[in-house]
């Protein structure tokens, strides 16, 4: 059984959209196990009863984000919580989201400058970061032109599929 990187990416995207909690693929060459952490449901206040004693409908619950759990033997640096810039609360800014699970890098090499900084003007198709997945360096390109308003992930931090990496103020 052989699986290429694009097939693996499609498989992970499909699993993320289902209720599958764990999947293991084994062959003579490799073994792949994918586990999703349980979703945490936000607590909801109990519904108030109306004067007619008929229960009202409770608001829908929202699932919290699924945490990325490190593999045994892999040391993960502590998360820095402080964002690089203050978010713009007036409107929802477009986000550059991670297309895969991996490790976020701001620059092409440790001794080189970052692809982008907060305040930089970027264009569609410009490389803004790298996600390392399975020893492959994947350049992530901007889908909109604009100004980088916020970088949400620290260099070397693990990221999950769909996690916002940056916010862009479109032009």
Indicate the domain borders of the chain. 1-42+61-67, 95-170
Q: Closest by alpha carbon to 48, among 39, 58, 38?
A: 58
Average pLDDT of the chain, as a whole number: 75
Predicted pLDDT of residue 39? 52
DSSP structure string for 103-135: EEESSSSTTS--S--TT-EE-TT-EEEEEEETT
Ranges under pLDDT 50 in the chain: 40-42, 44, 46, 49-71, 74-89
Predicted pLDDT of residue 91? 64
Count of other CB atoms within 10 angstroms of residue 9: 16
Strands 127-133 and 146-151, sheet pairing: unpaired
The answer to whether the beta carbons of residues 147 and 82 sit under 8 Å apart is: no
How far is the C-alpha of 97 from the C-alpha of 32, rounded, in Å? 24
* CATH pick for 95-170 out of 2.40.70.10, 2.40.50.100, 1.10.3710.10, 3.40.50.720: 2.40.50.100
56-92 pLDDT, tens digit each: 444 444 444 444 444 455 444 444 444 444 444 456 8
């Amino acid at each position: 059984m052989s699986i290429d990187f694009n097939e693996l990416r499609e498989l992970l995207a499909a699993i993320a959209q289902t209720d599958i909690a764990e999947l293991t693929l084994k062959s003579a060459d490799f073994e792949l196990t994918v586990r999703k952490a349980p979703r945490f449901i936000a607590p909801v206040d109990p519904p108030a009863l109306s004067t007619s004693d008929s229960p009202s409908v409770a608001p829908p619950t929202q699932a919290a984000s699924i945490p990325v759990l490190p593999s045994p033997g892999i040391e993960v640096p502590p998360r820095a919580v402080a964002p690089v810039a203050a978010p713009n609360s007036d409107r929802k800014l477009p986000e550059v989201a991670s297309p895969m699970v991996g490790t976020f890098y701001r620059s092409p090499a440790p001794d080189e400058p970052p692809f982008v900084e907060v305040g930089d003007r970027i264009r569609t198709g410009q490389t803004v970061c790298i996600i390392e997945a399975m020893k492959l360096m994947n350049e992530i390109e901007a889908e909109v032109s604009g100004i980088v308003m916020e970088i949400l992930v620290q260099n070397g931090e693990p990221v999950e599929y769909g996690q916002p990496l940056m916010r862009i103020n479109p032009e």
